Chains A and B, each alone.
Chain A
């Protein structure tokens, strides 16, 4: 069973997921795994009809694909992208209750301990991507929001189109992915600290702020990602692994690891939110008018706010 460079299972849960999968020779249902060149593997989220929304199955298949690439002694660089209209639209909000991927359902009424465990595991999955010993390039077009944006920000390089959209839609002042917490941001992106007027930013802004690596025209995206992959693929696998160990080790020293964990602990506050009479109760909206109504109301409340009192 696995896996090179000490990248191993952190929990029994992960291990059992892996054992269930038996990846060798197996087909992935929701993603595509390709070996482009001896040193380059490409993983494509393959739920275009759902805008590559992440549910438990897709998330676990993604981690399984990472394990597969890690076990391949030739592979040095991974490219991750989404099929269809976008890179990914975050958690699949229509997932059934009980799945770990979506935000917690109020109807579930979990205890604090249950919820805490869920968030710990969710955090661990993202950390696994951050601590992955091989280089990963996120090739981004369209939406890259919510949990998908988190996944991208865990990658070493992000190449995006000019029109790509990063952030967490509908939240004002929510920041972009936790590796982008303000105290770890390059300085000129601090204008996002106080909460810019929009909670999502385009590709061009993101690269200027240092959140992503490069922005290109849509038709050049694939070639550009491959170009960067080929550059990194020149390096011996161990050099890449130790470089990443060094970089992320230093970031941990600064407190990024703790910040990351505190972000997930902070999700717990979602469970205890109470709406004031003049606020839009969006969970109620979801129950009454379904997912579409919920998303619409969420959009609406953000834009109404901008119009009000101006």
Chain B
């Protein structure tokens, strides 16, 4: 396949296997990986040999979400307030971020997310934008966006699990276990770790035997039920409030991730971000 360095993409028996490939960074998503994913999705959608896509992560986790190192992340993250960008640039970047998840959600081929380990932030969005999400029982789902002072840019969670659980994850910082995620409708199944690959392969194989045409129309029709409920405007609204969030006044004494990272380094900054929050189960 094309020269990807941050993902691996192989087609076998009509199944497109996509592996997020920055295991040393727990598959944190930076701009390079993002652009490679963009490219891969576009190719896969037009490739008659691909009937279904499976997305998984190399190493210990599916993905810990947006890369927070501060380098090469102008596309995946909202711009730092330090950069003082003109509104037009911020707006366009926000639109692209939103549209990307929408595009994946509406891809005309079925997608399966194979999740193990941590699945946070943008990793969570990727996993939930896929049609089917199957996780191993050690998977952990969460979104620290609000703790970073950015709005979660993915509206579907409230539709999947209801407003109470959404607030538990986003507002209160609760992390969901695979079992909790399954019970609440966030994911399709939680399976024992050793069985994850087999279960996903079985599912993908089954789908690959079906008519591409029927699959495309069926998926479109199911997504349309969400569309009729207002998911489209919701993506747009998310975009707008996300921009508002970027414009907010930062008061002294508030936790500032960038400052913490400059002073303490990335890992310590993440710890400083998460530590004050009690463990909620």
Contact = CB atoms under 8 A, between A and B. Distances in A.
Given A157-B164, A187-B185, A213-B168, A234 B248 contact: no
Nearest to A208: B183
Given A185-B162, A210-B164, A239-B248, A228 B241 contact: no
B267 interface: no
Interface residues of B, number: 42
A223 to B, nearest CB: 11
Contacts of A227: 278, 280
Residue of B171, B173, B238, B250 with highest tally of chain A CB at under 10 A: B171
Interface stretch (A9-17, A167-175, A244-252): A244-252
Interface string A227-250: 110111011101110110111011
B146 A239 contact: yes
A183 B170 CA distance: 22
A228 B280 contact: yes
Tell me the interface secondary structure of chain A in the complex: helix
A253 B237 contact: yes
Interface in B222-250: 229-230, 233-234, 237-238, 241, 244-245, 248-250
Interface string A248-282: 01110111000000000000000000000000000
Interface residues of A, number: 40
Contacts of B161: 186, 210
Interface in A122-178: 135, 156-158
A5 B168 CA distance: 22
A236 B254 contact: yes
Given A231-B173, A240-B171, A246-B241, A186 B160 contact: yes
Residue of A230, A238, A250 with highest tally of chain B CB at under 10 A: A250
Contacts of A183: 229
Interface of B: 146-147, 149, 151, 155, 158-168, 170-173, 183-185, 229-230, 233-234, 237-238, 241, 244-245, 248-251, 254-255, 276-278, 280
The 9 closest A-B pairs by CB, nearest first: A186-B162, A253-B230, A210-B162, A246-B241, A250-B234, A254-B230, A156-B167, A238-B248, A253-B233
